[in-house]
Amino acid sequence: MSTRGPLRDRLDRFLMESRATVEGLDESELAVFVDFLRSAPRRVVFGLGRSGDMLRAFADGLVTSSHETRVLFTPGVGRIRETDILLLASATASSSTLGALAEEGRGRGGRVALITANALSPLARSAAARLTLPPLLSQTAEPGGEGAALASMQLRFDHALLFVLDAIAHEMGARYDDHG
């Protein structure tokens, strides 16, 4: 009989936290968000850090199901068209880079979709569509203070974001296969 080690405990905690976040999703908000993403002829994704990595993987999944999707690797809007949806993801939705990109994208006629844990941020309030991943706050004080707590919240957001984006990509692909 093997004993569980700290790595297995950490994996179990990550799964538990992601499940709690996903179970807290508003089903109607999720359905509206997916329909919104499907409504555009083309999606453009941009994100910073791990959230950006997840969005790039999501874009790849959409392309393989014949949904036109572009990835911005730098925050310039020159490639955003009037009918595009600019998809952003950020736990705090407080990045000035994302805010400026969203504003410029809207200025070119694009519509902004945002996945965040902070539904009250100015970026979240100004998005045409928003999916809120409920923030799972730590039950214990994080070693290292507020900065460590924010990093821990970001990690939990990114874990849940991966599951949610993967499910959305599969849903959009399945709908395309059924009706495409």
User: Residue 163: inside a domain, yes or no?
Assistant: yes
With beta carbons less than 8 A apart as the criterion, state whether 169 and 58 touch: yes
Whether residue 46 is contained in a domain is answered as yes
**pLDDT for residue 96:** 94
- Residue at 16 is within a domain: no
- Please provide residue 101's backbone torsions phi and psi, each rounded to the nearest 5 degrees: -65, -45
Average pLDDT for consecutive 10-residue bins of the chain (180 residues)?
82 88 92 95 92 93 85 79 94 94 93 96 97 71 56 84 93 63
Whether residue 10 is contained in a domain is answered as no
pLDDT of residue 149: 61
CB of 47 closer than 8 Å to CB of 54: yes
Entry pTM: 0.85
How far is Cα 68 from Cα 43, in angstroms, rounded to an integer? Answer: 6
Tell me, yes or no, whether 79 lies in a domain. yes
pLDDT, residue 73, reads 84
What is the pairing mode between strands 111-116 and 85-90? parallel
SS3 71: strand
Is 153 within the bounds of a domain? Answer: yes
Measure the CA–CA gap between 160 and 152, rounded to whole angstroms. 13
Whether residue 85 contacts residue 43, with contact meaning beta carbons closer than 8 Å, is answered with yes
Instruction: Report strand pairing: 111-116 vs 129-132.
Output: parallel
Instruction: Judge whether 87 lies within some domain.
Output: yes
Give the domain CATH number at 161: 3.40.50.10490
In a domain, 9, yes or no: no
Q: Which domain holds residue 133?
A: 27-175
User: Could you tell me if 73 and 48 are in contact, meaning their C-beta atoms sit under 8 angstroms apart?
Assistant: no
Long-range (24+ apart) CB contacts under 8 A made by 70-76 are 70/42, 70/43, 70/44, 70/45, 71/44, 71/45, 71/46, 72/44, 72/45, 72/46, 72/101, 75/46, 75/100, 75/101
pLDDT of residue 84: 95
Q: Are 117 and 133 in contact (CB under 8 A)?
A: yes
Domain count, the chain: 1
Query: How much is the pLDDT for 176?
Result: 47
Strand ranges of the sheet holding 111-116, from the earlier edge strand across to the other edge:
69-71, 43-46, 85-90, 111-116, 129-132
